[in-house]
């Protein structure tokens, strides 16, 4: 593969999944029992043979850096290239912009200047997807595009705001951008927050817009839509976007479907993540577990159904966990009943506590909530 480097912005998060993360950036939100959102963007790049990835840090740097460690799991613990930690711009604790802040890139022009790679892939961390970036890159080269926008063609399930979307001709060339408000049943090309671009062009854009630093990168593309050859590449398979607590819960529950598990986790392209050495999960003699995804190191004596258990969760005898997400090292004590609840890491639910949310309005329990 031609020399290509990656940039992943973790300094990002519209409609922050309220409560789930205790100020964790979206990039560091745990997903599907053992992953973090960042793993998808990072694995997609590594699986396409990219060996240098810049990570733009959010203002709270620890969760991201702790997860990445020395980068070994992604084969990025390298002498040359590998993981390059980049500083994000200060934009308050909850950045509002839905995309790449131009300023985040401006702050790190030296990373782009000091590299001989011809192409750059930009991505953020809001999507659950296992995609073949090589295909997008081959199309980019074949078509001689200036920019390839990675999109997902979706049928709107209800009237929905899609933000800025690309309007294309039949072969996928972008004509212009517009704010989309799709009707139910309408087909929409949703932007996957991922771009392939020549490094030099990206630098030109950065240098050419020094004074509007707080602008979103997509806005810049809109300005130049008529002058640049922008093409879309449509992701063929599963695509799960997370932009709120509710979409986080929906995407999580989709992971219980075997065909989605198969596509995301059992194909030739592996989703890589930090390895923590936990023993296998132990099911007690009277445990009852159904239709659930269970990570290692759990201890289950109670009832679990339609749920996702992260590492080290303990479900005591007589506890019932239904349609829940139980994060790392939580303890659900005997007799407790949880339904439609997200319990964030290290939380302890006291005996006989009963908490029920609604499927369309899940509850979030944090460690400090004192339940």
Partner 1 sequence: MPKKEWIAMLLAGGQGSRLGVLTRHIAKPALAFGGKYRIIDFSLSNCSHSHIDTVGILTQYKPFLLNSYIGIGSAWDLDTSDGGVHILPPFVGEQGGRWYKGTANAIYENIDFINSYEPEFVLILSGDHIYNMNYEKMLDEHKAKGADVTVSAIQVPWEEASRFGIITTDPEGRIIKFSEKPVKPDSNLASMGIYIFKWKLLKEALQKDEARPGSENDFGKNILPMLLEEGKRLFSYDFQGYWKDVGTLESYYEANMELLHEEPGLNLYDREHPVYSTIPILPPQYIGPNAKVSNCLVANGCTILGEISNSVISTGVTIAEGAKVEHSILLPYTTVLEDARVYRAITGEKAVIKPHCILGTESRSDQRKSSIAVLADRAVCGGSRHA
Q: Which two tokens stand for residue 35?
A: 């992953």
- CA distances (Å), origin 333, targets 220, 329, 352: 52, 12, 7
Instruction: CB nearer to partner 1: give 78 or 361.
Output: 78
Binding residue for partner 1 (CB under 8 A) from 106, 261, 346, 353? 261
Residue 195 burial class via C-beta count within 10 angstroms: exposed 0-12, middle 13-18, buried 19 and up? buried
Residues 50-69 that bind its own copies (CB under 8 A): 57, 60-62, 65-66, 69
Instruction: CB nearer to its own copies: give 78 or 282.
Output: 78
| Residue 345 binding: pick among partner 1, its own copies, none (C-beta 5-8 Å cut-off by kind) | none
Q: Examine residue 278 and tell whether it contacts partner 1 (CB under 8 A).
A: yes
Question: What is the smallest separation between the CB atom of 63 and partner 1, expressed in angstroms?
Answer: 19
Q: Which two tokens stand for residue 166?
A: 């690309």
List the 341-343 sheet strands across, edge first. Answer: 308-309, 325-326, 341-343, 363-365
Residues that contact its own copies, how many (by CB under 8 A): 22
What is the spatial distance between Cα 344 and Cα 310, in angstroms, rounded to a whole number?
A: 10
Instruction: CB nearer to its own copies: give 86 or 192.
Output: 86
| Residue 71 binding: pick among its own copies, partner 1, none (C-beta 5-8 Å cut-off by kind) | its own copies
Backbone angles phi, psi at 84, to 5 degrees: -120, 115
Q: Examine residue 78 and tell whether it contacts partner 1 (CB under 8 A).
A: yes
Binding residue for partner 1 (CB under 8 A) from 24, 34, 140, 152? 34
Question: What is the smallest separation between the CB atom of 220 and its own copies, expressed in angstroms?
Answer: 24
Task: Tell me which residue of 6, 33, 19 sits closest to 255, measured CA to CA.
Answer: 33
Q: Which two tokens stand for residue 147?
A: 């920019």
For its own copies, the binding residues (CB under 8 A) are 57, 60-62, 65-66, 69-72, 77-79, 82-87, 110, 275, 277
């Amino acid at each position: 593969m031609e020399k290509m480097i990656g940039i992943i912005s973790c300094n990002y998060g519209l409609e922050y999944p309220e409560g789930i993360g205790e100020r964790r950036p979206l990039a560091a939100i745990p997903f599907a029992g053992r992953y973090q959102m960042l793993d998808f963007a990072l694995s997609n790049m590594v699986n396409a043979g990219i060996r240098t990835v810049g990570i733009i840090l959010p203002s709270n740097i620890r969760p991201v850096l702790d997860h990445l460690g020395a980068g070994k799991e992604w084969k990025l613990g390298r002498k040359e290239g590998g993981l390059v930690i980049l500083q994000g711009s200060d934009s308050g604790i909850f950045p509002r912009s839905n995309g790449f802040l131009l300023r985040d890139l401006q702050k790190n022009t030296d990373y782009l200047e000091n590299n001989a790679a011809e192409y750059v892939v930009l991505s953020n961390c809001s999507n659950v997807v296992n995609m073949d970036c090589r295909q997008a890159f081959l199309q980019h080269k074949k078509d001689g595009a200036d920019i390839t926008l990675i999109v997902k063609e979706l049928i709107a399930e209800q009237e929905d705001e899609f933000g800025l979307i690309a309007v294309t001709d039949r072969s996928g060339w972008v004509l212009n951008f517009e704010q989309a408000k799709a009707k139910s049943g309408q087909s929409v090309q949703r932007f996957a927050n991922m771009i392939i671009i020549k490094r030099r062009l990206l630098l030109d854009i950065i240098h050419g817009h020094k004074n509007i630093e707080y602008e979103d990168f997509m806005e810049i593309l809109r300005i130049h839509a008529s002058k640049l050859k922008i093409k879309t590449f449509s992701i063929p398979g599963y695509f799960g976007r997370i932009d709120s607590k509710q979409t986080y819960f929906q995407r999580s529950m989709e992971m219980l479907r075997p065909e989605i598990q198969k596509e995301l986790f059992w194909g030739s392209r592996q989703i890589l993540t930090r390895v923590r050495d936990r023993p296998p999960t132990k099911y007690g003699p009277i445990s009852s577990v159904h239709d659930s995804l269970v990570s290692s190191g759990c201890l289950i004596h109670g009832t679990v159904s339609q749920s996702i258990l992260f590492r080290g969760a303990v479900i005591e005898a007589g506890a019932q966990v239904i349609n829940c997400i139980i994060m790392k090292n939580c303890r659900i004590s005997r007799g407790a009943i949880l339904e439609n609840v997200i319990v964030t890491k290290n939380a302890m639910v006291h005996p006989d506590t009963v908490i029920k949310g609604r499927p369309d309005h899940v509850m979030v329990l944090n460690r400090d909530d004192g339940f």
